[in-house]
Amino acid sequence: MKMKLLIACLISISLVSAQNKTETLPPASSWDVAPPSWYIGMADSSLQVIIHASGIGAYDLSISYPGVHVIAISQVENPNYLFVDLIIDDQAQPGNIPFVFTSGKKSFTYAYPLLERKKRTYAYGLDAGDMIYLLMPDRFSNGDTANDIMPGTQERTVNRKDPKGRHGGDIQGMINHLDYISKLGATAIWCTPLIENDQPKWSYHGYAATDHYKIDPRYGTNEQYALFVQEAHKRDLKVVVDIVHNHIGSGHWLFEDLPMQDWIHRLDSGFVRSNYRTSVKNDPYASEYDYRRMNEGWFDFHMPDLNQDNPYLSKYIIQNNIWWIETYEVDGFRLDTYPYSDLKFLQDWALAINRQYPGFGIFGEVWVNGVGVQGYFHGDNAIDDGYNSYLPGVTDFTLYDALTTGLNEQFGWYEGMRRLYHTLTQDYVYGDVMKNVVFLSNHDLSRFYSLVNTNTDKFKMAITFAMTTRGMIQWYYGDEIGMKNFVSPEDGKVREDFPGGWAGDSINKFERSNLTAEEKEIFDYVTGLANWRKNSDAIAHGKLMQFIPENGVYVYFRYTEKETVMVILNTNDKEYSLENERMAERLNGFTTATLVPGKSTVKLESLKVGAKQSAVYILK
């Protein structure tokens, strides 16, 4: 249930009795200490250490260590907690800070690790040139069967036939297939949370944390996670961590023994579920009832809603996130259920992260409908109401809605490809729209291939758009081989195991030779576009110019001084011939076009795209 200070590479503990050897505290191995260690030379020299142990609040605490200054020691309403505020000078030296606890004649010493910062060797951050491969560790690959069932955890079964249960995928399975992800054309990897989720059921998804500093033992260890990051970086893959600010699991030690009653939100007298209507956060006509129900209601009955107005809690979250960046050299954060958190906290959090790691890669899950609602949560937006989240990018659900709807309807004044056009005309709302994340599927949505009724041409058209429009792309595992299914009535159907990720699988689809002809067509198209994309100046840095879709055909350009790319999406049932005169402002000076993927070249005056086809060209 708890970390229990078992991160051996980081933590050294000593518990020493004074002359009167009457021990009343539990052994230090059962304490909860957060953060479990810290670093010298951080941009913010302050540190708040939470110490949780039975009766610890009754003890006096003294600290004497060169370069470390005690600002406050706070006893809160729960006597099992102490909050220790420190300032750490840059002149402090690495070592164990002695926390000396005394009560009468009894004395105990706890050694708190103060570490020297490592020199980072891999640049962090995300940009429009990135393709982020999203996977669910439990459903991707089982590389170590020894950790499938771990003693001491509440859910101790593995059943691959149970869509809600654990299937056994782990960190080693991810490491085993990093070459596959890299060769696909991805530049980053995001997996759903790996930290401990010691819940009695549904623990596989990772969104109900019970220890923020410990990798779930059924996925591996903290040391193994460090190896995963190192191996990813060797392959030029950035690592994105899935962060949950809004809630924790009901098995978390911070919920089972609350430091203070306002650590979590409480509506009425018991459990109240959120209304999930994030639009109330920027609704000028919202009722107080609806706002509170959204902001303070629980995401689910086993996910207590955190009260980030509590300054101790907000400090705990910020320090935890910084600790993961500093300790494991990760490159970006995806923020789960972003709008559910307190708006002021989200500002403070973003400023704190950016102060320590300027330009760190961050995007938030903003699952809303409408550019105005979505844009409200985007940092530096054009909405002048005095609020700035400082969030660099959002998951672009509004553009996703336009794509899924537009590909499945007849072309019209607003319908079809014009949905994409009209949605993009509203990009002025955002700050840096190139930091938005475009996607076709994720772990909460139906597989895109199923949404277009397994029509390969439509699927390839969607792939073309996602790979070439503004912003970065998030790719969901298995879409590259045309995995299918719908999220309703069972989300486990879109979280199925990757075929070949388990030793006993009848077929291994990590190997291209094992794919069907249909799967190879999709895989080759994705791989071709993705590997071209990661080296394209126009995609990473280019402007976007779009022409109003006509007769079911959408044409747009991505361009810099170095490169011009033309994209044609022809949803019509007849062949399309390029309109050179209409698009002269972007075509002048060019005579030929080279197809991507592939290298076939045609003259612009004779360029044609077949019915229901899409095409990407580099202009020469």
The amino acid at 485: N
User: Which residue is catalytic, options 365, 396, 480, 496?
Assistant: 365
Query: E strand or H helix at 349, and its extent?
Result: helix 343-356
pLDDT at 599: 85
pLDDT at 16 over 80: no
pLDDT at 14: 34
Reported as a single tens digit per residue, the pLDDT across 211-269 is 999 999 999 999 999 999 999 999 999 999 999 999 999 999 999 999 999 999 998 87
Compute the distance between CA of residue 421 and CA of residue 414 in angstroms, rounded to an integer.
Answer: 9
pLDDT tier at 17, thresholds 50, 70, 90 = very low
pLDDT tier at 28, thresholds 50, 70, 90 = confident
pLDDT at 23 over 80: no
Write the DSSP string, 59-127. Answer: SEEEE-BTTEEEEEEEE-SSTTEEEEEEEE-TT--SEEEEEEEEETTEEEEEEEEEEPPPPP-S-----
Give the mean model confidence (pLDDT) for residues 24-49.
Answer: 90
pLDDT tier at 29, thresholds 50, 70, 90 = confident
User: Which residue is catalytic, options 198, 331, 336, 396?
Assistant: 336
Exposed / middle / buried, residue 503 (Cβ in 10 Å: 0-12, 13-18, 19+)? exposed
Q: How many domains does the chain have?
A: 3
Reported as a single tens digit per residue, the pLDDT across 589-620 is 999 999 999 889 999 999 999 999 999 999 99
The amino acid at 608: K
Is the same domain home to 444 and 307? yes
Is the same domain home to 341 and 400? yes
Rg of the chain over Cα atoms, rounded to whole angstroms, equals: 26
Indicate whether 13 belongs to any domain: no
pLDDT at 22 over 70: no
Give the domain CATH number at 223: 3.20.20.80
Exposed / middle / buried, residue 512 (Cβ in 10 Å: 0-12, 13-18, 19+)? middle
Compute the distance between CA of residue 47 and CA of residue 43 in angstroms, rounded to an integer.
Answer: 11
Give the mean model confidence (pLDDT) for residues 567-593.
Answer: 97
Compute the distance between CA of residue 552 and CA of residue 540 in angstroms, rounded to an integer.
Answer: 28
Is the same domain home to 58 and 198? no
pLDDT tier at 139, thresholds 50, 70, 90 = very high
**What rounded mean pLDDT belongs to the chain?**
94
Is the same domain home to 290 and 193? yes
pLDDT tier at 490, thresholds 50, 70, 90 = confident
pLDDT at 598: 86
pLDDT at 527: 98
Which of 503, 538, 573 lies at the terminal end of a domain, its last residue? 538
pLDDT at 7 over 70: no
Give the domain CATH number at 613: 2.60.40.1180
Reported as a single tens digit per residue, the pLDDT across 187-197 is 999 999 999 99
Indicate whether 51 belongs to any domain: yes
| Pairing verdict, β 592-596 and 211-215 | unpaired
3-class DSSP state of 185: coil
Indicate whether 141 belongs to any domain: yes
Which of 514, 538, 562 lies at the terminal end of a domain, its last residue? 538
Contacts with 597 (C-beta within 8 Å, 6 or more apart), sequence order: 524, 525, 527, 528, 529, 531, 532, 616
Is the same domain home to 526 and 558? no
Whole-model pTM: value is 0.94
Is the same domain home to 193 and 271? yes
Is the same domain home to 149 and 273? yes
Which of 54, 88, 115 lies at the terminal end of a domain, its last residue? 115
Contacts with 559 (C-beta within 8 Å, 6 or more apart), sequence order: 538, 542, 543, 545, 565, 586
3-class DSSP state of 240: strand
Q: Which residue has better confidence, 27 or 340?
A: 340
Is the same domain home to 468 and 588? no
Give the residue among 280, 197, 274 at the shortest CA–CA distance from 242.
Answer: 197
Indicate whether 250 belongs to any domain: yes
Reported as a single tens digit per residue, the pLDDT across 516-533 is 999 999 999 999 999 999
Whether 77 is a known active-site residue: answer no
Compute the distance between CA of residue 301 and CA of residue 346 in angstroms, rounded to an integer.
Answer: 24
Is the same domain home to 369 and 480? yes
Which pair of structure tokens corresponds to residue 133?
């491969």
Compute the distance between CA of residue 528 and CA of residue 188 in angstroms, rounded to an integer.
Answer: 17
* Residues spanned by the domain of 100: 28-115
Give the mean model confidence (pLDDT) for residues 1-24.
Answer: 37
Indicate whether 241 belongs to any domain: yes
Compute the distance between CA of residue 413 and CA of residue 405 in angstroms, rounded to an integer.
Answer: 14
The three-point CA angle 167-170-172 to 5° equals 140
Whether 401 is a known active-site residue: answer no
Is the same domain home to 248 and 356? yes
Give the domain CATH number at 41: 2.60.40.10
Is the same domain home to 39 and 177? no
Q: Please compute, for residue 580, the number of CA atoms within 13 A of its CA located in the half-sphere on the CB side.
A: 13
pLDDT at 584 over 50: yes
Give the mean model confidence (pLDDT) for residues 340-360.
Answer: 97
Is the same domain home to 434 and 498? yes
pLDDT at 24: 55
Give the mean model confidence (pLDDT) for residues 500-506.
Answer: 97
pLDDT at 186: 98
Indicate whether 394 belongs to any domain: yes
Indicate whether 160 belongs to any domain: yes
Percent of the chain residues past pLDDT 70, beyond the cut: 96
Residues 77/50, Cβ–Cβ less than 8 Å: no
Indicate whether 7 belongs to any domain: no
